[in-house]
Structure 1
């Protein structure tokens, strides 16, 4: 979740990327952003787990398709449709949105796969290390100079990945793909000259033709679950759109009433909830190397967060 977000979860950082920076915390900001984090961290894992018998690609295709009407209703309610129409007339903006849309769709797909394949712990790890990946991106892409403590945090995160790779016998690719894709999405989304709600709808509109092709392919293969499976599957696939759109908009509004430091602390609630759900509800193993690796990540994040809180108020 970058320094400021879907979760697979979705996109907190990007959702609030164009919102004004608050100088103080408001109760409305806490409630609204908190509701978004609860949807991402508590509702989304169970929602996706209920669809674990469906191909993740089909889920993402329907997530995109049904996010269009959900996003349109929200944008009409906000009275910001003119901004979207202006963006659609700009080839440059559409091209930029196509890139961010592609990246976030990859993030969604990997997250859905992680939940369906009983690897929610890896998904949780990915969103824990995401802020540290963002620091690295700042170094290589923006020429930023992290403090010594931030370098220590990055080194600890790297050590955690090495431990998981050695003891599990494989690279935790789910964690890395989620972290890098979301950090990249957040970085590029900041350059998109359009608001959070309008940008989200623009992205899913761009992805819709591909989603329709994929849904058509599943129908042709006789492997589709929409209208062909149970009523539960059909309605859950439709609900995937609002479940994707609503927390993004809630976060965008909440971010306006919160300081960036507060958002930075609250964002850790999402991977923490996913971690608890993975262990206590999904029954994923959490012992030995996993405990050591996550402990290193938590220490790294504590160090990283302390550097943010020490920054002067003006910064």
Structure 2
């Protein structure tokens, strides 16, 4: 199997798992969002630690301790991913799966916005147009909801910020997830101990299946992330960018078709604007990628061949 085909399989696997993740989270009721988040953090540490031990890859911790700036970045990344996970769990278990899907639809646009405001990048006209359409969509959805879609915006900005910090850190997927979860593990364990002391913990008190599902939250977190890393290492950025829309499409389907959340005409119009913005954004990204490859081929063909 070629690396490109393997990359597509990894990418499809990651986004299929993320797309159907709301179904898994619903199975964790009656645990509350914070309890689910705490278990997700703790069991992620356990799962990835076992994986790294099996791969005999624990030496990276010593090198990491010699990089104080990297440790500060990991703390920031941990805080952002905790906000993202917690918001997503809350959204799914409060019957707002459609709004969580919106957050991941607009995430690419927020990434571009952060590129302008944080990295001082210059945008092409098509990217500005996509941002303008996306802003219009937020206005329409605000009017429909009667409030700012804060849950979707929190998901989009927290995940975009997390990606920005991760890009600066440059840690591999498994090692990065382990360190980030380890930073959060102590407060997560403290919260679970507090719940147990108050006799409010559902762990071990609902059913054996419920307890097993809470434990498996670590694997459910790590596996799609590792598949995504495998895809990112094998696919062009433009191809990976198009595959990423599979997850929010499936999440939207879960919200509307399985959980029967409302989709009135005004909300549908807001989503249509978001999709139009993504079409403009993706078409520009594909065009720019092809132009770059063509320029590289032209430069390579014009390079003089050394003679003996």
Moved >6 Å (runs of 4+): none
- Contact kept, 8 Å, 2:78 with 2:184, in 1: the verdict is yes
Cα deviation for residue 193 of structure 1 reads: 4.1
Distance 1:192 1:47 in 2: 30
| Residue 313 in structure 1 maps to residue 284 in structure 2 | no
Is contact 1:52–1:117 with CA below 8 Å preserved after alignment?
A: no
Q: Which has the larger radius of gyration?
A: 2
SS at match of 2:31: coil
**For 2:127 and 2:82, how far apart are their aligned partners in 1?**
30
**2: distance between equivalents of 1:193 and 1:265?**
23
Q: How far apart are the structure 2 equivalents of 1:210 and 1:89?
A: 24
* Inter-CA distance 291–25: structure 2 relative to 1 (3 Å threshold): farther
| Cα-Cα RMSD | 1.5
Aligned partners of 2:29 and 2:134: how far apart in 1?
Answer: 30
Relative to structure 1, is the Cα distance of residues 205 and 120 closer, same or farther in structure 2, using a 3 angstrom cutoff?
A: same
The aligned counterpart of 1:40 is 18
Q: Check conservation: 1:153, 1:300, Cα contact below 8 A.
A: yes
Query: Cα distance, 1:286 vs. partner?
Result: 1.1
Give the aligned partner of residue 304 of structure 2: none
**Displacement after TM superposition at 1:159 (Å):** 1.1
Aligned residue among 23, 47, 70 for 2:47 = 70
Equivalent of residue 241 in structure 1, options 199, 218, 221: 218
> Are 1:266 and 2:243 matched, yes or no?
yes
Q: CA deviation at 1:52?
A: 3.5
The structure richer in helix per residue is: 2
Q: Out of 303-312 and 89-98, give the one that drifted further.
A: 89-98
Counterpart secondary structure, 2:117: helix
| Equivalenced residues, count | 291
Match of 1:135 among 112, 128, 131: 112
Matches within 5 A, 1:207-286: 207-286=184-263
**Cα separation, 1, equivalents of 2:276 and 2:61:** 42
TM-score (norm 2): 0.91
Moved more, 120-129 or 229-238: 229-238
Q: Deviations over 1:217-237 (max 9, x none)?
A: 111222101122222221111
Determine the structure 1 residue equivalent to 2:86: 109
Task: Compute the displacement of 1:75 (Å).
Answer: 2.1
Moved more, 96-105 or 193-202: 193-202
Q: Distance in 2 between matches of 1:264 and 1:207?
A: 29
Counterparts of 1:158 and 1:239, CA distance in 2: 38
Q: 1:89 offset after TM fit, Å?
A: 4.7
Aligned ranges for residues 18-29 of structure 1 at < 5 Å? 26-29=4-7
